[in-house]
Amino acid sequence: MRKLYSTLLVSVIVLSLFLTACSKDQGSKALGEDGQVKLKVVFWDENYFYQQYGNYFSMKYPNVEFEVISTNKMQQELQESKNPDYNEAYSKFIEKNQPDVMMLQMDQYEKFVSAGKLYELDTMIKQDKFDTESIIPNVIQMLKDKGGGKIYGLAPTFGAQAIYYNIDMFQKHGVDLPKNQMTWEEVLQLAKRFPTGGSGKDREYGLYMDYGMTPSNIIMSVGNVENLRIVDKDGEKVQFDAEPWRKIYQLVVDNFQSKTLVNEDQNMQGGSMESYYEGKPFLMGKAAMTIAGTWSISEFERVKDQVKNYKPFQWGVVTAPVSAMDPNTTDSMYLSEIMAINAQSPNTSAAWEFVKFINGPEMAKMQSRQMNGNMPTRKEFIKDKENHDLSAFYLLSPRAKSVTYDFEKTPANFYQTLTQVLDEQTKQVLDNKQSVDQAMTNIQKQLQEGLVKAKQEDKAAKEKEAAKK
C-alpha cells in the first residue's frame, strides 16, 4: 500500500511540474475557451494514448475532449484474414472514421500525402514560430522527403538500430573497439576475433542478435544494407542468382562455418523475467556485440532488478552496419508515430495545438525520463541515466528508398517461402551436402517457383472472396 501511495505521489508531482512548465508558455491561447472542443484521434491503443499524451494535454486544455479510435480491432480482423493488406485496411479505417488527428507509420504517411489526405503544416509552423531547429535534422528530412518537400506530420519519437558493444569483453581479449560506419564484413571480422568455444552459459560470442540468427535473417539483413532487390520491382522475377547476392551468401556461409555466427535457441525457460534476461547473451555479458534498437537501452536498467547477482559491464554504441558504396546513409532509422492532421478535419486549429503540444520540448523532456522504447526526436533530450554517447542512433542520413524488403507486389505468404528456402538450402551447405554454387541455383529456382505458386493461390483466393459478395 505504501509503495502504491509513493508511486501515485510521484506521478502527481511529475504532472504538477509538467503543468508548471507548460504554464510558462504565454504564447498559446487556451483551447475551447468559447466552448467544448472534441478531437477524434486514431491511435493504436486508447489507454496508452492517455498515458502517453492525452492526460497531459487535457490538464493543460481541460475544455478539449478526446474520442480515441483504437486500431486494435482492425488489427485483430487482419490477423484473421487469409490475405491481409494492412495499408489498404488502414486507409479504409481512416476513411470510415474521419479522425481529426491520426497516427501514421512512414509508408502510410507517404501514401496519405500523395493522396492529398493530410493537412500541410509548414504554414502553421512558421506562423507560430514552432521550434523545429532542435529536432534531429534527419527526422525533419525524412518527413520532407516523403512529403514532397513539405511537412505534413511531426513525430515526437524515433527508433533506430545500432551496434551495442561490451567494452569489458573487447579489452579482455585485446580487440580494438568498434567504430562508426563499419560494413557487415568489418563487423564479422571483429566478431571472428573472439573465442568460439564453450557451451551453454559458458559460451561467449563475438556477435549475437536476439531477434534471430537464422541464415535467412542474416542474409536478408546484409542484403538490406546493400539495398539489393531479391524480387524485381514488378514483383514477377526473383533475382537472387546474381553476383552481389552471391558475395553476401558466401560471406554468411563462411561465418557460420567458422562458428562466428551460430543459430542457437536462446528462448527463456520457465517463463520468469529472470530466465528471459538470462536468454540474452549480450545483456548477460557473454556477447561482445549485438545489433539492436533503441528499446534495448531500458533493459540495462531492468536487468539489474530481475537477475540475481547480475554483473553490469561497460558498454557503448556505434552505427548499425553500412554499405561501403554508401556509408553515410542508413535504413535502420524509422518513425512509427507520425502525428498528422486530416485534410478534411473541421478542427484544424485545435488539432494543430495537439500535434504541436506532443512534439514540443515539454513532452520530449517527459519522454527522455522514461526511455521505454523510442527516443525523443529533440536532440537535447536524447540521453540515458549514465550519459552514454547515443549519437550513433541518429548520425547517419536516412536512405531515400529501400528495396530489399519491398514485397508490395508479391503475395503476403511469399516471404515465408523465402525464409524457408534460404534456411533449408543453407543447412544443406553447412552439412556439406551441397556447394554454395548448387545452393544459389536451387534457391533461385525454388523461389521463382514459389513466387509463381503464391501468385496463383493469391489470385484464386481473391476470386473466391469476390464471388461471396
Q: Which residue has the higher pLDDT, 72 or 205?
A: 205
- Percent of the chain at pLDDT above 70? 89
* pLDDT over threshold 90, residue 440: yes
The answer on pLDDT for 369 being more than 50 is yes
* Of 80-84, 212-216, 315-319, 438-442, minimum mean pLDDT range: 80-84
Instruction: Over range 218-225, report the average pLDDT.
Output: 97
Does position 449 have pLDDT exceeding 70, yes or no? yes
Look up the CATH architecture of domain 28-156+333-386: 3-Layer(aba) Sandwich (3.40)
- pLDDT above 50 for 439: yes
316 phi/psi in degrees, rounded to 5: -150, 175
pLDDT given for residue 272 in this prediction: 86
pLDDT value at position 2?
38
- According to the model, what pLDDT value does residue 372 have? 65
Q: Tell me the longest C-alpha to C-alpha distance in the chain.
A: 77
Query: Domain limits of the chain?
Result: 28-156+333-386, 214-261+410-469
Q: Tell me, what's the pLDDT at 15?
A: 46
Does the pLDDT at position 30 exceed 60?
Answer: no
pLDDT, residue 174, reads 97
In this prediction, residue 178 carries a pLDDT of 98
Most confidently modeled of 66-75, 359-368, 438-447?
Answer: 438-447
> Length of the chain in residues, anyone?
469
User: Taking the complete model, does pTM exceed 0.95, yes or no?
Assistant: no
> In this predicted structure, what is the pLDDT of residue 303?
93
Q: What confidence score (pLDDT) does residue 73 get?
A: 75
**pLDDT confidence bin for 314, thresholds 50/70/90:** very high
Asked if residue 239 lies in contact with residue 229, where contact means CB atoms within 8 angstroms, the answer is yes
pLDDT in tens, 269-286: 557 888 888 889 999 999
**Considering the chain, what is the average pLDDT of its residues?**
88
Give residue 76's pLDDT.
75
pLDDT in tens, 141-151: 999 999 999 99
The predicted pLDDT at position 75 comes to 79
| Band (28; pLDDT cuts 50, 70, 90) | very low
For residue 375, what is its C-alpha cell?
527516443
- Residue 74 is predicted with a pLDDT of 80
**What pLDDT shows up at residue 443?**
98
Q: What is the mean pLDDT of residues 115-141?
A: 96
| Spatial contact of 178 and 190, defined as CB atoms under 8 Å apart | yes
Instruction: Give me the percent of the chain exceeding a pLDDT of 90.
Output: 69
> At residue 447, does pLDDT exceed 60?
yes
Does the pLDDT at position 424 exceed 80?
A: yes
pLDDT score for 202: 79
Which of the residue ranges 22-26, 260-264, 267-271, 384-388 would you say has the lowest mean pLDDT?
A: 22-26
Give yes or no for residue 355 having a pLDDT over 80: yes
CA angle 135, 137, 142 (to 5 degrees): 105
pLDDT at 464: 81
> Is the pLDDT at 18 greater than 90, yes or no?
no
Which has more confidence, 441 or 301?
441
The pLDDT score that the predictor gives to residue 212 is 77
Q: 186 near 318, Cβ under 8 Å?
A: no
CA distances from 276 to 202, 210, 307, 362, 373 (A): 17, 11, 9, 34, 18
Residue 50: its pLDDT value, please?
A: 94
Could you report the per-residue pLDDT of 87-126, keeping only the tens digit for each?
A: 788 888 899 999 999 999 998 999 999 999 999 999 999 9
Strand partners, 38: 65
